[in-house]
Structure 1
């Protein structure tokens, strides 16, 4: 059985407070976009995991897909072994939710393979134990995310027919470093209200991480400006970076990006 976990972008991202557990309260709008990994699982005599494409940092035992399997085995005894292969096309640590998407889609695949018949809310509960963004990928539709990112509310976001450009300059920004530069504060705008009117996005839809990351990494700030110069009606860093995306009403003219950059273009 195969699935294609997709990336996400953040339309606005406010860090509103720091919690007593060390996490931060956020408010953002997450939207799925058509950049995909490929995840295959088959029943096997022994559980194994392999990957191709972008390298996955860390020990295999810490991979979120295997942690998802362990979570299910904790509550459902006698689950079969799986042979798992993941092809990574979404860059890791790029603000695109690639690892979280793999975990969320893994839970959905296992739910089907094992005939568990778990409803989405149940899968979202498991996903929240794996990571803050993981629950988003269960339903995989535009959502306002609050709390650590696990409190989800549906929102209508119509990007159909738009053109998307994602640019990652291959700069790694750890989540810890990104949050270290942020001073939490309450949002000055209602993100839901702003998203309802695209004419407000450029001026009012803000990613709070940009204020500290752009001075430290001017290449990332330049990419955002380049996307606006190319005709984007909205451009921003996604998540904690370093990927910057641009949204266009129509496909722009060809742009020569540095060969060291990861570049994705596609229709929405």
Structure 2
């Protein structure tokens, strides 16, 4: 029996999100900075050498019957002509409809893990090309580093070396309510002509840059987001929504004590029933790339 255990699929945050235009096919042109955080789904893979069957076992009972994990495995199996199968167990922790990229991250980790398990030796670039057919965020997770993002999400500039971001901790909160990405992007009041920014201006102050232009629309559609942001701002946090929501985050200043953070977490759990809150670290590299 050949297995890959405890393959981590990290969530992401959009430090900012601007829309600079709309393509003729209706896709929005974006600028953003994606960062990996240590809020993980956990996947386990068991090789089926004598069968091409792909199966998935949901250990948390929150996944649809055929999600991006299954689709990613099937896409790689077909593209590479693999005759082997796999059984995948999933521990789902990243909230859905949060703007944290959980489904895309699961798909990316599936492609990277099966590339190793099936001994395909595909390059990251080749996996990213396949991943883009599954979702615009999948190539980012396969790339494995924080990134400056443009186009419809497929143009990635790694934030490494001189562009690497300083260490940071984030308070991340997903309210009980979720949001549909399509509903946000189709809203007629969404601002779609933000002027273009530059990487150099961003890296001067990466955790205090720009805004999320989707946030205003999201707050109108989901009062819980607006209440949560107001709650955190009252406690002196600078709060931004990630992606199309509904999760929000705030950088934790070094002057904020652990005692104060624990108090805030307790208040969130009390006042926002059904929410999920976590203190997260910004990662510099995808954990799968550290396990060789």
State the TM-score, normalized to the length of structure 1.
0.89
Q: Structure 2: how far apart are the matches of 1:171 and 1:52?
A: 23
Aligned residue number for residue 73 of structure 1: 77
Aligned residue number for residue 12 of structure 1: 16
1:185 equivalent to 2:199? Answer no
Q: Structure 1: how far apart are the matches of 2:144 and 2:62?
A: 24
Give the secondary-structure state (helix, strand or coil) at the position aligned to 1:196.
helix
1:145 equivalent to 2:149? Answer yes
Contact 1:224 1:246 in 2 (8 A): no
Contact 2:69 2:107 in 1 (8 A): yes
Give the aligned length: 261
Contact 2:190 2:214 in 1 (8 A): no
| Ranges of 4+ aligned residues in structure 1 off by more than 6 Å | none
Give the secondary-structure state (helix, strand or coil) at the position aligned to 1:118.
coil
6-15 or 204-213, which deviates more? 204-213
Alignment of 1:252-263 (within 5 A): 252=257, 253=260, 254-255=263-264, 256-257=267-268, 258-263=272-277
Q: Structure 1: how far apart are the matches of 2:100 and 2:39?
A: 9
* Structure 1 residues 267 and 24: alpha-carbon distance in aligned structure 2, compared to 1, 3 A threshold: closer
Aligned residue number for residue 108 of structure 2: 104
Contact 1:157 1:195 in 2 (8 A): no
Contact 2:21 2:29 in 1 (8 A): yes
Q: Structure 2: how far apart are the matches of 1:54 and 1:236?
A: 30
Q: Per-residue deviation at 1:54? A: 6.2
Q: Identify the match of residue 173 of structure 1 among 179, 186, 192.
A: 179
Contact 1:79 1:114 in 2 (8 A): no
- CA offsets 1:174-218 (integer angstroms, 9 cap, x no match): 1111112253533335152442233882xx511010121213323
Q: Structure 1: how far apart are the matches of 2:230 and 2:164?
A: 24
180-189 or 127-136, which deviates more? 180-189
- CA offsets 1:101-150 (integer angstroms, 9 cap, x no match): 00011110011001111111111101111101010001221111112211
Contact 2:99 2:243 in 1 (8 A): yes
- CA offsets 1:144-181 (integer angstroms, 9 cap, x no match): 11122111112234241x32111111112111111122
Alignment of 1:172-251 (within 5 A): 172-181=178-187, 182-188=189-195, 190-198=197-205, 201=208, 204-232=209-237, 234-250=238-254, 251=256
Which ranges in structure 1 are unaligned for 5 or more consecutive residues? none
Aligned Cα root-mean-square deviation (Å):
2.0
Aligned residue number for residue 60 of structure 2: 53
Q: Structure 2: how far apart are the matches of 1:227 and 1:54?
A: 31
Give the secondary-structure state (helix, strand or coil) at the position aligned to 2:37.
strand
Give the secondary-structure state (helix, strand or coil) at the position aligned to 2:176.
coil
State the TM-score, normalized to the length of structure 2.
0.82
